[in-house]
Structure 1
Amino acid sequence: MFGLLKKDKGARVFVISIDGVPYSFMREHIDKGLFPNFKRFLDRGDFKRMNSVQPTISSVAWSSYMTGKNPAKHNIFGFVDQKPGTHDIFIPTAVNMSSDTIWEIMSRAGKRVFVMNVPVTYPPRPVNGIMIGCFLCTQIEKIASPPAVAAELKKMGYKIDADAWIARQDLDKFLDEVNIALEKRVQAMYHFMDKEDWDFFQTHIMETDRMNHFFWEHMEHDDPKYAKAFFKFYQRVDEVLGEVEEKLGEDVEFIVLSDHGFCTIKKEVYLNNYLAEAGVLKFNDERPQSLNDMHPESLGYSLIPGRVFVNLQGREPSGSVPPEKYETARETLTDVLLNLREKDSGEPIIREVLRREDVYEGENLEAAADLIAVPNDGFDLKGNVNKSVFGEKGPLVGMHTFEDSLLYIRNRTLVKKDNEFWVGDLAPTILKMMGLPVPGDMDGVALV
């Protein structure tokens, strides 16, 4: 169907997305001479710091990237969510996304696309070209559209994702796992670059995020065992970026971006346990196992990371807050959250509390959390209900930050009136580069 449509005029676009790589980290180490290929890029393109999304979760950020919209329009609000009217948890996938993606828009315009490994692309939606899903898929046989592509991937030993559970037992083995996953991703990228005809091509490197989660603190503290391995991995990523850029002709638009920044975790913070200690969340059991054990007298509760819901009548399974008390409940919960302090230093945990209507707009607004608690860097907000308020970090030593994602576009000057670049700006930017109209309901703006 897609192939019968006539192509519009416009540039071809190649995107490498490097998950969770901070602008500040790249800028610092480019200046130190560690990443020579990226340093070369800066002489012929524009390099900007970008904002992510709230909450700062890859599933949410990449959904905004691929749709150009805020979560209340694309309907992905977190890595986990609740089935309506229950506290039953599920993981949102492409099935739950309620907006068109840029590659579906391209496909309808007759453009041929190749997309590999971008979060929330599983199950793969049909496109004019090839769609290879992401870590949400556990069986390689089901990862691609058309399905025959999966057999090619399996034959070359493609890895869907590095197995993070290995890191919880053996960091040395996990280093090998991440490096192998990266090389298999790169192998597949070159295979399809050479084999396929494409107008838009995107490869997503998830391994950077995996490295950062488990080795960021080791890098920052110059750990003699792991810092060198961390930078060796990143130098390989820089090498791949350089190889790809040289392989592409000057007539191809070349984009590198990430979806959020990173910092070292100071403490894990179990928000529901704090709300319980503060008296606004109550349980039927002294040792609750989940939010299904919540008592009707509760004012509110939290889902990871920092999404706070009023226990509203008519919406929640044991809702007790009448609609006319909704705003009062939000104000009380906001005050409680802002009073949360680190137990030893007294440092505030929560930087700000956002109301959903102040950050979201769209037809799915009612599905959003009522409040979003934004932590100060280093405080990793959790949703478990059977922990103490503060927990020491485990193998996971790095967490996401909002203001520090990166964007590079070759041979372009990037302009935005308020200079607040946002990951959702890429969808209209890419469509404009390709000579395609930008839908009027996109929240992002073209930067070129």
Structure 2
Amino acid sequence: MFNFSQKQSPPRVVVISIDGVPYSFIQKRIAAGDLPNFKKLLDDGSMRRMNSVQPCVSSVAWASYMTGKNPGKHNIFGFIDKKSGTLETFVPTSENVMSETIWEIMSRAGKKVFVMNVPGTFPPRPVNGILIGCFLSTRLESIAYPKHISAELKARHYRIDARAAIARENPDRFIDECNLVFTRRAEIMLHYLEKEPWDFFQGHIMETDRMNHFFWDQAENGDSPYAKAFSNFYKRLDELIGVIDEKIGDEAELIVLSDHGFCAIKKEIYLNRFLAEAGLLKFKTASPKSLHDMHAESLAYSLIPGRVFINLQGREPNGTITPARYEWARQQATQTLLELRDPDDGAPIIREVIKREEIYHGAYLPAAADLIAIPHDGYDLKGDVTKAALSEKTALAGMHTFDDALLFMRRHDNKPARENLWIGDVAPTILKLMNLPVPADMDGVAL
């Protein structure tokens, strides 16, 4: 953990969250001299590697950050989840976060908050201050609380998100899109930083994740055509960090964090295709369109990324695995998943298979997948049932990793008193910095 210095930390906190930026990448770019403002931060604080959550999905990780709890308590398990007792899937929103967030705790305590663009915050829930929702919103008119902030955002030409579809068609245009969205995001962030009274301020940069997904290989290959554009984008992020650091001075604690790491994609792996080839998943038709075409004789199926559900009787709409055979079914699925190999070189694809109760606990544990398959770096697990092939390589260049998120805290030294920091530790840490009580049911531990 970070050891608090002798100087008393101020009760105000600024958090800059940078989606999907690896600790190892920032350290490498600092050493290369590309990020002078990040380097300057290290003169008065420490940066540490931090674990994410499983699965490594932004919506799950940021829900754990904002609540300080594991998914079994906050109820977000993936970018898509399924309705209880059905095979109907949906994209979880703030309405599905079944726990109080740190900015709601602060609001109850009379603290003024400003929160912008943190994944999982749409629709915006009421706070004592301003909350601008995330990319899940499709319209500026409904993105903010209170409502009049939406009109301000529209007048200032705020952009909700970069459109990923552009990257598949025109990479150059997508880079321009990410830079434009970043510019508008930074302008709004700095506007409210100076205009609004706040005790807690958080601005979230999503464009880092967008760039990493489509250009991560450029980061690893300096001779590639988009390497300069990728590097220049991160230099712009570094400049923004420097501006914010200068503006807040010593009047607030500064935290910079990410939610997961990144690595290059070797292949996208269609796990349901593998389960079908292995005989664990069967369909009623030769060309299934969705999981609704699953045959009752199936043992298991998967939702992205790597979440495996047993076709359990009494839970699944056509479940045939009796509760008495549940553990047997999980063992069968686990053994089969661990046998999955790259069809080209025979390399193992699945590093580990985790039972849900090994990493989750809480009232919402029954909603979790029965097993979570953890791939080796480079194998991006997908859930599409329409694919005829086990794997392919698409326009996606980068994927999320678990153990390479970052956490920077100003005015804290870099002599850790414990290892295995995880993103849920940040919530109680922030509350402690603000002299607010930490709820007893938080899983995170203040640093």
Q: How much has 1:168 moved relative to structure 2? A: 1.2
Percent identity between the two aligned chains: 62
Which range moved further: 138-147 or 412-421? Answer: 412-421
* Alpha-carbon separation, structure 1, partners of 2:389 and 2:266: 14
Quote the residue 1:102 is aligned against: 102
CA deviations over 1:326-378 (Å, ceiling 9, x no partner): 00000000000000000111110000000000000100000000000000000
Give the match's secondary structure for 1:238: helix
Match of 2:3 in 1: none
Query: Matches of 2:113 and 2:424 in 1, distance apart?
Result: 19
Deviation at residue 391 of structure 1 after TM alignment: 2.8
Alignment-derived partner of residue 338 in structure 1: 338
Question: 1:122–1:297: structure 2 CA closer, same or farther, 3 Å change rule?
Answer: same
Distance between the aligned counterparts of 2:162 and 2:317, measured in 1?
37
| 1:58 pairs with 2:58 | yes
Letter in 1 for 2:152: E
- The residue type paired with residue 344 of structure 2 is D
Q: How does 1:24-423 map to 2 (within 5 A)?
A: 24-413=24-413, 417-423=417-423
Report if aligned partners of 1:10, 1:436 keep a CA contact under 8 Å in 2. no
CA–CA separation in structure 2 for the residues paired with 1:202 and 1:389: 43
Q: In structure 2, the residue corresponding to 1:384 is in which secondary structure?
A: coil
Partner Cα distance (1:29, 1:399) in 2: 19
- Shift in alpha-carbon separation, 1:49–1:391, aligned structure 2, 3 A: same
- Specify the SS of the correspondent of 1:43: helix
* 1:128, distance to aligned residue in structure 2 (A): 0.1
Cα distance, 1:390 vs. partner?
A: 3.0
Q: What amino acid maps onto 1:440 in structure 2?
A: A
**8 Å contact from structure 2 (residues 10, 251) kept in 1:** no
CA contact (8 A) 2:10 2:252 kept: no
For 1:424, the aligned partner's letter is G
RMSD between aligned residues:
1.1
CA distance in 2, matches of 1:221, 1:93: 36
TM-score of the aligned structures, taking structure 2 as reference length: 0.97
- Tell which deviates more after alignment, 396-405 or 221-230: 221-230
CA displacement at 1:236 relative to structure 2: 0.4
Q: Can you list the C-alpha shifts for 1:295-338, whole angstroms capped at 9, x where unaligned?
A: 00100000000000000000001100000000000000000000
Q: Secondary structure at the match of 1:372?
A: strand
Q: CA deviation at 1:388?
A: 3.3
1:393 positional shift: 1.9
What is the rounded CA distance, in whole Å, between the counterparts of 2:280 and 2:47 in structure 1? 45
TM-score for both structures, normalised by structure 1: 0.97
Q: Which amino acid in 2 is paired with 1:47?
A: M
Structure 1: which amino acid aligns with 2:29?
A: H
Distance 1:200 1:326 in 2: 46
CA deviations 1:415-444 (Å, max 9, x no partner) are: 765411100000000000000000000000
Query: How many residues are treated as equivalent by the alignment?
Result: 439
Q: Distance in 2 between matches of 1:415 and 1:39?
A: 18
After superposition, give the CA deviation of every residue in 1:93-137 in whole Å (9 maximum; x if it has no partner): 000110000000000000000000000000000000000000000
Q: Is 2:43 aligned against 1:16?
A: no
Quote the offset at 1:414 in angstroms. 6.2
Summarize deviations over 1:231-264 as a string: whole Å, max 9, x none: 0000000010011001113131000000000011
Q: 1:83 to 1:416 in 2, by over 3 A?
A: farther
Q: Distance in 2 between matches of 1:197 and 1:308?
A: 46
Q: CA deviation at 1:413?
A: 3.1
1:18/1:258 contact within 8 Å kept: yes
The equivalent of 1:6 in structure 2 is none
Gaps of at least 5 residues in structure 2 are 1-8
How far residue 389 of structure 1 moved from its aligned partner, in angstroms, is 4.3
CA contact (8 A) 2:10 2:253 kept: no
Q: Name structure 1 gaps, 5 residues minimum.
A: 1-8
SS in 1 for 2:169: coil
What residue is the counterpart of 1:3 in the other structure?
none
CA distance in 1, matches of 2:390, 2:347: 13
Task: Report the equivalent of 2:5.
Answer: none
Amino acid at match of 2:168: R
